[in-house]
Amino acid sequence: MRKKLLWSLLASCLFFGTAMAQNSTVNGRVTDEKGDPIVGASIQVKGTKVGTTSNNDGVFTIKAANGASLTVQAIGFETKTVAAAANLNVKLVTDVRALSEVVVTGFGGSLIKKELTGNIARVKGKDIEFMPTASVDAALQGRAAGVFVNSQSGKLGQAVTVRIRGNSSISASSQPLYVLDGIPITSQDQSTYGGDMNPLTDLNPNDIESIDVLKDASAGAIYGSRAANGVVLITTKRGRAGKTQITFNLQSGQSEATKRVRMLNSTEYNELALEAAKYSDDQEDIPYDDPYSYTQYMKDIMSYHSYGQWDKDKAKSYDWQDQAFQTGQYRQADLQIRGGNDKTKFFSSFQHLDQGGTIRSNELSRTTGRLNVDQKANDWLDLGVSLSLSRIYNRRLPGDNAFSNPLQAAALLPMSPFTDPNTGLPTGTPPGDVNVGIYFNPQIQIDYAKYTQDVYRTFGNTYFKAKLLPGLTFQSEFGLDFLSQNEERYYQTQAVRNTSSPRGEGVNTGAFITNYNTNSYFTYNKLTAKHNFAATLGMQYQQSQAKYNSTTGTDFPSNSYQKIASAATKAGGSSSQSDFRFLSYFLRSNYTYDDKYIISASGRMDQSSRFGKNSRTGFFPAVSAGWILSNEKFLSSNKYLSFLKLRASYGLVGNSEIGNFPQMGLFTGDAGYAGNAGQRPSQLRNDDLRWETTSQVDVGIDFGLFNNRISGEIDYYVKSTDGLLLNVNIPATTGFSSMVKNIGKLENKGYEFVLNTQNLVGAFKWTTNFNVALNQGKVTDIQGQVIEGGVGSMNRVQEGYAIGVYYTAEWAGVDPANGNALWYKNTKNADGTIDRSTTSIFNQATRVVTGNPNPDVILGLTNSFSYKGFDMSIFFNGVLGNENNIYGMGRYSSASMRYEDNQTYDQMARWQKPGDITDIPQARLFYNNGAQISSRYIVDGSYIRLRTASIGYTFDSKKLSKFKLEKLRVYVSGQNLLTFTKYPYWDPEVNADDFDSNIAKGNDFYTPPQPRTILFGVNINF
């Protein structure tokens, strides 16, 4: 992409560089700081139109008058002016100023940020390289304004929520489209158990040259019906002409869970439980010593679940939560080789990662290799291939809402010992009493069951690019993305209480996704003194086919047999297939006049197999314009203001991620009964179904001050989505609960602010990158639909509010007189006012909006320092103004002994006698006193986190040369080192996997917290 710009520069030089007088010949070479040649740098004799460019070795020849100055320019480097001399060696310094950056626009396009009229945020591969972030989407967190990332949990390889400029759909996916080197890749979950996994883990983040996030409609329209959630263009590293560079990076370290929640110990539990039982006995007039009293029940429970140990020692206590956690080991080795000559250039890499989770039994390993080769066949034809192979092994955890989720051990009684004193095996393991432990002991799952996932992923791409005429090229590329996945679960006989399969249970599933894509397009560039015109015209076709199968077997001869071949009963089996296809034509053009006025227009026509026969084709146009004021006379001499551009864009984009075949009326043949096949009506028909359409207006200012040492962007956008692909609720009396229709509207409005500063530029360098985004989402019309999700169906889509707001009774605390839980009635009075009186009868309280899982503000702040060999980088990210829902665990464990579950420590502050002022109601065994769904369980989820920090030292290259080393850097890096939050449970950055949907966000259900990782690394260049 960069090459093309240079090529047009070259063209301009040739056009205008012929008429001048020439005196003597200058021979020179342009290199970067490291001495590597810079290819295609432009060299111009100052004050003339004489110019040339450097060749593949950085060498150039130019004729210049004696005493003349040469201006040497290359993209990505600061411009330098040197005096002409016979033999010149020009060393250019990398330009770290953001305005000189080049961003990728898709389909072979690229633009200097200065000339951009849309909104594209770029994350450089360098910024995320060698960080303990296993996937590219997680790496975006806090680094691009307006891109909200939530890593959901501390489980390895799990799905990550990414929202670009808010949530723009209710029923269709709100995740962005990921395009890797031109191919839209499979990024949806493929797992069958234990929460969503993340197919982006299959890509080695260290292979990435850059990530460009297309945020506004003018940038995204070229991806048409797939761009409404934003597009993430991932470009991998490619070869460079020059010396072959070999980089070896090794890092090793440890992870720990970031937090524990204080639960009750045996003494505390005993006190609270018996107090709660006493209340319930009193309530029902049962004598405490009655064998069927609550008190006796509770004593029996504590005795039974401690193997009688509690009768002897009431203080003996076991911290079950601690059993869930472990120290995870992290080891990663990377090898990258990069090089080439003027004909052939290559980049290759190899990585092996071994990562132990902070939750016991969780582990992930990744082995990847990549080879990217570019070949210049002749003066008009370039060819290339890239191929990446990877294998991911993930020993996964059960979903959050499973008794076998290790963190659910926190609910077990503190008097339950870890091991059965009779057998020495984990509590609840047969042949001991399997019912000891008030719930299934997750330890048994860890020891006697296994859930593994193997993924084999291939990304391949081949292209050719022909120069047809000066300025006109044709490029065609063919890409493929193969994902093969095998999952195996095996539960030994010991896990019978969880599986109900006393003789073992095994499950084996496969997913095979083949995804082909071709792009073919013409590109035209014409550059004259005042006019710069570029256009792209082309087509794209994508087809994806997913095949799935699964087999379940039970009754194994012994625990030594763990494959389904040995299962006496093949208890279940299934196979299925699903396809989708897209055919698209697109056009994009840019025109710049006199480096001041820029206009750009693009459009895409999309056809898809996913939509109704009456509405198969959609058109997505966009226009944008920019005005570089700083190039106008009245500003060009301003001392402080070095750059100022106003820009605006408007366009339409779509969202078609509603799954395959949503438009068809269907019967499904899965309704067999007792061994006989059956069918059932499964989906209602909608021939008019089409994409959601999002129109977006974006206005922005780009500015640079003090020779662009300070630069920034300010954006305001309004994103309106119409014709939502909605799973519209219909009366269940029809036999269906919902059907997909284009109904409803929503809106996201927001500001984005980016500031990049070079605070110190001398030997001691200090740069700051700051971004902050404010987004307000609002559902404006869903035609009265009630759409709910999440834990306790507390997340709701409500007109006038953001998607997924919590809709609950409003908690009013505890009645000091009697310890009753109270709620605000919030019913409407006859005069239209709201009754704010409180009630202890839950059904009298009306539900109201009590919180929002979507943040108001997201921000990222990076400070980078370097001095001589030292470098340091500190990166904070923050998410503010959102609420989380802790009802998942709260209803059991912060619930005044609603159930026998161990309670969180805050429950000790319960109401005990009249006059007590507290927010914790009286403990009442098996009574609902405040454990109902209310805003009591909606808590502040804001946080600011020291996400990553690294400090490194690079040894002096002169000293290294005798060891044949070019560079040696040692470093320490850390992740999630500090978190500032008021959140009471484990981790405010949470999203319980078993409940996750567009609507259901911010739920915590014994969700494992993020790991805190510290790594030591060494990076060597040969």
Partner 1 sequence: MKIYNKTINKYLIAILFTSVLATACEKRLDVFPTSSISDSKALLSEGDVLVTLIGTYDGAQAATVYGGDIMVLNELIGNGENINFTGTFAGLSDAFKAQMTTNNGNATGTWGSSYSTINRANNVLSALDKVTSSATKKSSVEGEALFLRGSLYFELVKLFAKPVGDGDYAANPGVPLVLTPTGNVSEADYKARATVKAVYDQVIADLTRAESLLPSSNGIYATKWSAAAQLSRVHLMLKNYAEAGAAANRVITGSGKSLAVDIDKNWFTYIYNGGTTPGEYLFSMKMTPQDGTNALNTYFGRTISGISGSAGRSDCKIKAAHFTQYETGDKRKDFFVLSGGNYYTKKHLDRFGDVPVVRLSEMYLTRAEANVRSNTSVGATPLADVNAIRTRAGLPALTSITLAAVLKERKVELAFEGQGLPDAKRLQNNVGLLAWNAPNLIMPIPQREMDVNKKLVQNAGY
| CA–CA dist 442, 406 (Å, integer) | 5
- Which CB, 281 or 702, lies closer to partner 1? 281
Minimal distance, residue 565 CB to partner 1, in Å: 17
Minimal distance, residue 977 CB to partner 1, in Å: 37
DSSP strand pairing (87-91 vs 24-31) = parallel
Q: Which residues pair with 150 in a beta bridge?
A: 161
For residue 556, count CB atoms less than 10 angstroms from its CB and return exposed for 0-12, middle for 13-18, buried for 19 or more.
buried
Give the closest residue to 190 by CA, choosing from 611, 649, 511, 613: 511
- Which CB, 48 or 729, lies closer to partner 1? 729
Residues 6+ apart with CB under 8 A from 199: 185, 186, 187, 188, 189, 190, 455, 457, 483
C-alpha torsion angle, residues 402, 404, 408, 414 (rounded to 10): 140
Q: Which residue has the tokens 């057998």?
A: 423
Minimal distance, residue 579 CB to partner 1, in Å: 4
Q: Which residue has the tokens 């195996």?
A: 488
Minimal distance, residue 653 CB to partner 1, in Å: 20
Minimal distance, residue 664 CB to partner 1, in Å: 6
Token pair of 74, please?
A: 């290359």
DSSP strand pairing (242-257 vs 328-340) = antiparallel
The rounded Cα 1 to chain-centroid distance in angstroms is: 26
- Which CB, 684 or 714, lies closer to partner 1? 684
Minimal distance, residue 655 CB to partner 1, in Å: 18
DSSP strand pairing (472-491 vs 505-527) = antiparallel
Minimal distance, residue 443 CB to partner 1, in Å: 18
Give the closest residue to 404 by CA, choosing from 381, 382, 378, 426: 426
Token pair of 299, please?
A: 């004593």
Token pair of 417, please?
A: 């010992």
| CA–CA dist 535, 467 (Å, integer) | 15
- Write the single-letter amino acid at 999: I
Token pair of 16, please?
A: 């205008």
- Which CB, 287 or 669, lies closer to partner 1? 669
Minimal distance, residue 775 CB to partner 1, in Å: 28
- Which CB, 572 or 914, lies closer to partner 1? 572
- Which CB, 636 or 679, lies closer to partner 1? 679
- Which CB, 717 or 995, lies closer to partner 1? 995
Minimal distance, residue 681 CB to partner 1, in Å: 6
- Write the single-letter amino acid at 296: Q
DSSP 550-616: EEEEE--SSTT--SGGG-SEEEEEEEEEEEEEEEEEEEEEEEEETTTEEEEEEEEEEEETTS-TT--
Minimal distance, residue 77 CB to partner 1, in Å: 33
- Which CB, 308 or 914, lies closer to partner 1? 308
- Which CB, 595 or 688, lies closer to partner 1? 688
- Which CB, 96 or 466, lies closer to partner 1? 466
For the chain, state the CA radius of gyration.
32
| CA–CA dist 939, 916 (Å, integer) | 23
DSSP 690-754: --EEEEEEEEEEEEEETTTTEEEEEEEEEEEEES-EEEEE--GGGT-SEEEEE--EEEEEEEEEE
Minimal distance, residue 171 CB to partner 1, in Å: 15
Minimal distance, residue 262 CB to partner 1, in Å: 22
Minimal distance, residue 518 CB to partner 1, in Å: 6
Token pair of 679, please?
A: 């069918």
- Which CB, 174 or 554, lies closer to partner 1? 554
| CA–CA dist 1005, 122 (Å, integer) | 35
CA distances from 847 to 794, 827, 1004 (A): 10, 9, 21
Cβ proximity of 586 and 621 under 8 Å: no
- Which CB, 842 or 865, lies closer to partner 1? 842
- Which CB, 530 or 685, lies closer to partner 1? 685
- Which CB, 224 or 1009, lies closer to partner 1? 224
Cβ proximity of 232 and 140 under 8 Å: yes
Token pair of 1008, please?
A: 């494992």
Cβ proximity of 211 and 232 under 8 Å: yes
- Which CB, 666 or 908, lies closer to partner 1? 666
Minimal distance, residue 533 CB to partner 1, in Å: 20
Minimal distance, residue 382 CB to partner 1, in Å: 13
What SS3 class is residue 248? strand
